[in-house]
Chain A
Amino acid sequence: MDRRIPLTILLVLGIVMMLQFFIPSRPSETFFEYVFVRFGIILFGFALIPSVGSLIRHHWKKAAARKQGWPYSIVALVGLFGMAAVGFLDREQLLGGASGLFRRLFLNVQVPMQASMFGILAFYMASASYRAFRARTFEATLLLVAAFIIMFGVIPFGAYVWDKIPVISEWFLEVPNMAAKRGIKFGVGLGIAATSLKIILGIERSWMGGGGKG
């Protein structure tokens, strides 16, 4: 019985929202605005509560049990609560408003840290491409040649070597790449439509948990 309620809500709303899309009238738009837009934004806001709660619970348990890497959990919790507190105080103009502590912490701590984490990828990619990017088979050779042309095409140095390299690189992206991407996107689109229908009709129930049984 408890599973029938969410399944019924899903079935009714799924069908109504599909019908609404094809009815361009004022009542239909108003319905959409209240049910989807307003309710949706509220729902997304409330979704923060379980996600933040789960983060706190996970790190609290890890720190309390002194599991491996527990000091990092303390750092995560201090960062979470510290930034939130500074944010609330800043919002009330207690710490300098828009140019205050929150902004300085964000720009001088979070931004360099996240950008550095992403930047480190360049080193791993260089190492991995040296060790693994080999012309072992015909397909691997094709990939290697295409990668060379694209890499040369996107840097200004490529045009120095031969002014046609950027043109060939662009052709690779606009013809073979686009053909492959379009095929993949059609497949993904059909898959999304089929899966959505299965969910709306209650055939696919794994989203409810419990391995889709019941």
Chain B
Amino acid sequence: MSWRERLFKIDRRVLYLLIAVAVVVPLIKPLGLPTAVTPHAQHLFDAVDRIPPRTKPLLLSMDYSPSVMPELQPMSLAILRHCFAKKVPVIVMTLDPNGVGLAEDAILKAAAEYPEIKEGVDYAFIGFKAGYNVVMIGIGQNFRATFPTDGSGHPVEQVPILANIKNYDDFAMVITIAGSAIVESWIIFAVTRYHVLLGSGITAVSSADYYPFLQTGQLCGMLAGMKGGAEYEELLDKHDYSHAPKRASQGMDAISSAHIIIIVFIILGNISYFLSRRKKA
């Protein structure tokens, strides 16, 4: 077999091994590559940062399942840390049945870092509700009818942070962290109908879909993939809101090295393709 043929037929197991090494090594020994903040992440951070402390709450909807958790959970954690550090009340919900455990985990982790934060006063988890578009409209029509109790079953009238919520007018803004097209439903039902200030965090693969909504202002900001989470962590660190371990930034090192391997192999594949084409000609 000539070297050209070898180049064209690299065993896939070699490629798998290289990808595994490229992912695992930076996770064990982070490279510490700097993260440049994109304007969309900066806009979302600024929108949250503008909410005055102890006034209207932020509604954080964690609409994703464990499959996309590595990408999206750092975003939720970063936003919770931002709210807790700034004393912005935050109400967490989920429109994904698998999101309940992830939301509880994120709240417990972030709240443990801010001992002065009190459940029911500074934050509340209102759980999962089926039928996402119905829930989105329901919050705009009558919050209490849609969520008569919080996630633990306490009536909303008995939970201080929830007691005065009637509809979207009582929220400073809504942020949806989603691994599906649910962001578009938030835009259709909450933004168009109720003029909600909406921000989003989404997987990298679906980020390209939401650029039209950023231009129109229907999304005030966006975190795209693990990079978006890393950017938010960077902003929290820069503004002294949180110095917790930056999980997304560490993940970006692994993504960077895996991307480089993929790029190198695409180049190799194309070189071998052109060489074989020239040989045939």
Interface size class of B (residues with CB under 8 A): 35 or more
A126 near B258 with CB under 8 A, answer: yes
Contacts known (A43-B131, A106-B101, A166-B36); A129 close to B19, Cβ less than 8 A:
no
B208 near A173 with CB under 8 A, answer: yes
User: Is A212 part of the contact surface with B, judged by Cβ < 8 Å?
Assistant: no
Kindly state the separation between the CA atoms of A181 and B274 in the bound complex, as whole angstroms: 32
A107 near B131 with CB under 8 A, answer: no
B135 near A41 with CB under 8 A, answer: yes
CB contacts under 8 Å to B, within A156-198, are: 156-157, 159-160, 166, 170, 173-174, 177-178, 181-182, 185
B142 near A130 with CB under 8 A, answer: no
The interface residues of chain A lying within 8 Å CB-to-CB of B224 are: 154
The interface residues of chain A lying within 8 Å CB-to-CB of B19 are: 122-123, 126
A98 near B134 with CB under 8 A, answer: no
Interface residues in chain A, defined as those with a beta carbon under 8 Å from any beta carbon in chain B = 29, 32-33, 36-38, 40-41, 43-45, 47-48, 98, 103, 106-107, 110-115, 117-119, 122-123, 125-127, 129-131, 133-136, 144, 148, 151-152, 154-157, 159-160, 166, 170, 173-174, 177-178, 181-182, 185
Kindly state the separation between the CA atoms of A117 and B67 in the bound complex, as whole angstroms: 7
Stretch in B10-18, B50-58, B85-93 with 4+ CB within 8 Å of A: B10-18
Q: Which of A29, A98, A119, A159 contacts B36 (CB 8 A)?
A: A159
Q: Which of A36, A157, A160 contacts B134 (CB 8 A)?
A: A36
Contacts known (A36-B137, A126-B19); A41 close to B129, Cβ less than 8 A:
yes
Q: Which of B38, B105, B259 contacts A107 (CB 8 A)?
A: B105
Stretch in B154-162, B168-176, B238-246, B260-268 with 4+ CB within 8 Å of A: B260-268
User: Is B47 part of the contact surface with A, judged by Cβ < 8 Å?
Assistant: no
The 0/1 profile, CB within 8 Å of A marked 1, for residues 200-229 of chain B is 000010011101100100000000110100
Q: Which of A112, A123, A134 contacts B273 (CB 8 A)?
A: A134
Closest 10 CB pairs of A and B: A44-B131, A40-B134, A156-B33, A44-B130, A114-B66, A106-B101, A130-B265, A37-B138, A155-B256, A111-B66
B15 near A130 with CB under 8 A, answer: yes
The interface residues of chain A lying within 8 Å CB-to-CB of B263 are: 148, 151-152
B270 near A134 with CB under 8 A, answer: yes
CB contacts under 8 Å to A, within B86-129, are: 98, 101-102, 104-105, 129
The 0/1 profile, CB within 8 Å of A marked 1, for residues 65-76 of chain B is 111111000000
Counting chain B CB atoms within 10 Å of each CB, the highest count among A32, A117, A126, A160 belongs to A126
> A102's closest neighbor in chain B, by CB?
B101
Query: Min CB distance, A45 to chain B, in Å?
Result: 6
User: Is B182 part of the contact surface with A, judged by Cβ < 8 Å?
Assistant: no
Contacts known (A114-B66, A126-B265, A127-B15); A37 close to B146, Cβ less than 8 A:
yes
